[in-house]
Structure 1
Amino acid sequence: MNLIFVRYFLALADTGNFTAAAERCHVTQPTLSAGIARLEAELGTRLFDRGRRSGLSTAGQRFLPHARAITEEWRLARAEQRSDQRGRLVRVGLASTLPVMAVMGWLQVVQRQLPVDLEISEGAADAVAERCRRGRCDIALHATRDPSPLDNAAVLWREPYVLAAATGHIVATRDRWSVKDLADTPFVLRAACEAHDEAQRLFTCEGVRPRAVLRSADEERCAAAVLACLGVSLMPRSLLRPGMAAAEIREVALDRRVVLAARPEADAELVALLRDAAQSATRDLRLDFAR
């Protein structure tokens, strides 16, 4: 029996709603529904009475205490394993284009709850991903625009790129702009941006080459320049700071996925623990992007 399906069952039993249960489990509704169906097939009985609100069937009510006991035993088993792994070194690669507070929140959870010692390095997203593929770090938290499936990786959230401007900048007065509207607007160019080349191509297709008031791989420096009204910047929505407004560029509809990847030989149990911690630390971001 797949423990994930048991967790789906408990989430649906607690919420009585497939959409709410899927959100709690960080999966799509069809994935949760398929998992519940698999669990019911394993047990040979219906666990829920389907309707406007999915309530437990008689068999589901009988299974509920067993399901809670199963997940509690698993929690205790994991805690026991963690105590055996105290002091284990985990090499973490971080992309420099990720939101600092979300990343630090994740690392704080990892340091507090998991029995590991961290060794953290930072770099451009593609360099961090490549280090992980080559086994030079155990875990990589990075962003990608590639929509193809990724081996040994979990998508934490998907987000759009937006045009960021200080709230006092003229660009903040509208929710949507065209590329030609921005022809004379100074830009702060984020040199490490995963979408930089594609955005530049889209601007060029419209015959526009923005003037760069600043070009830097330092995200904090770029944000400070935007807040100082020196220019506007194309950035992922999660990098917006207080004092910034976001707008769309009509011809530039780009997004990225933030993923947690593991080296091929990484311990599957440890990867699962790190992924759970990352999902917990970034929950507010993911719910915000889902709205």
Structure 2
Amino acid sequence: MNLVFIRYFLRVAETGNFTVAAERCHVTQPTLSAGIGRLEEEIGARLFDRSRRAALTAAGQKLLPHARAMVEAWQAALAEQRSSRQHRLLRVAIGSTLPIQAAMQWLATAQRRLPFDIEISEGTAAIVMERWRRGRCDVALFPVREPIAVATAVQILREPYVLAAATGHRIATRDRWAAFDLAETPFILRADCEAHEEAQRLLTIAGVRPRAVLRSANEERCAAAVLAGLGVAFMPRSLLRPGMAAAEIREVALERRVILAWRDDADPDTAAALRDAATADDRLAFAR
């Protein structure tokens, strides 16, 4: 027996009108009538007297308290499940080179959709990926250079690396630069950057060895140095801040993907809530 049909029955019993009941159930009247018909087939008796403004028949009167009890029991079961999920601990590992405000907003959005307690850890992309693969976290959000093809991981962002500079810096005057033009430009080196070695290799091939004025794994410090005009930084587009301009390096065309992954035995509802929250947030979903 379909609980939806029970709800249809209760709405008609409350309103005494099939049309009004259909509106309150947000379905068409033929859909509601068909559902009532299916219910009457299961019961083996007419539930409403159509000739008397959808008045309950004797069979309908008998079913009414049971129908209410069924709906109440279902609502109580849902409330119990939600209550148990509120105390579930979800261990989340986040890559240190991801935009932290967007990552925190993602978790807050998911937590509103399906409450759970959160324990957050962070690390380099390699460390977070290893934690996920070894089952040492329930959910992981991390960047990679190449796609991951497994059932428990989805790509939620794909973005290029750019050369970031303060809007008043000379690099901000053009959208594209040759590596040779950057030979004397001071660089801020993001120590945990997944593309650091590859970018350095490509610049070396182009005959350029950038001078580093700061090398740090702290993204906020690197951003502060860029905004102060101390140098430029090679970073993914999502890490750009207000006051920064972006340019391309002709010889260094690299990109990354951000992966959301979860344990094989993760609760499907929790995984769906996290996935939906990530793809609904345009700061994570690559919509630029």
- Structure 1-normalised TM-score? 0.70
Cα distance in 2 for partners of 1:275, 1:164 equals 30
1:285 positional shift: 4.6
Partners of 1:90 and 1:224 lie apart in 2 by 32
Q: In the TM superposition, what is the alpha-carbon distance from 1:286 to its structure 2 partner?
A: 2.7
Deviation at 1:152, TM superposition (A): 1.2
What is the deviation of 1:190?
0.4
Q: Deviations over 1:165-199 (max 9, x none)?
A: 00010000000001111011010000011111110
Q: How big is each residue's C-alpha offset from its partner over 1:188-220, in whole Å with a ceiling of 9 and x where there is no partner?
A: 000011111110110111111100110000000
- Equivalent position of 1:33 in the other structure: none
Residues 96, 124 of structure 2: 8 Å contact kept:
yes
Q: Which residue of 1 aligns with 2:262?
A: 262
**Residue 210 of structure 1 pairs with residue 210 of structure 2:** yes
Query: Whose radius of gyration is greater, 1 or 2?
Result: 2
Q: Does the 8 A contact of 2:278 with 2:284 survive in 1?
A: no
2:9 corresponds in structure 1 to none
What is the CA–CA distance in structure 2 between the aligned matches of 1:78 and 1:214, rounded to whole Å?
Answer: 54
For the residues of structure 2 that align with 1:147 and 1:205, how far apart are their CA atoms? 26
2:68 equivalent to 1:101:
no
Determine whether 1:156 maps to 2:156: yes
Deviation at 1:232, TM superposition (A): 0.2
| 2:285 matches 1:283 | no
TM superposition score normalised by structure 2:
0.70
Distance 2:99 2:78 in 1: 30
Q: Where do 5+ consecutive residues of structure 2 fail to align?
A: 1-26, 36-74
Deviations 1:84-106 (A, max 9, x none): 42210000001110112211111
1:232 aligns with 2:232: yes
Which whole-Å deviations, capped at 9, do the CAs of 1:239-284 have from their partners, x for residues lacking one?
000000000000111111111111222223321111112222x225
SS of 2:208's equivalent?
Answer: coil
Counterparts of residues 169-208 of structure 1 (less than 5 Å) = 169-208=169-208
Superposed, 1:1-291 pairs within 5 Å as 81-280=81-280, 282-286=281-285, 288-289=287-288
Q: Deviations over 1:96-147 (max 9, x none)?
A: 1011221111122133332210000011111011101101000001111013
Q: 1:131 to 1:78 in 2, by over 3 A?
A: farther
Give, as a single letter, the amino acid of the residue that structure 2 aligns with 1:231. Answer: G
- CA–CA separation in structure 1 for the residues paired with 2:116 and 2:224: 35
From the superposition, tell whether residues 80 and 100 of structure 1 become closer, same or farther in structure 2 (CA, over 3 Å): same
Q: CA deviation at 1:80?
A: 7.0
CA contact (8 A) 2:132 2:140 kept: yes
Aligned position for 1:4: none
Give aligned pairs, total.
218
Distance 1:251 1:124, change over 3 A: same
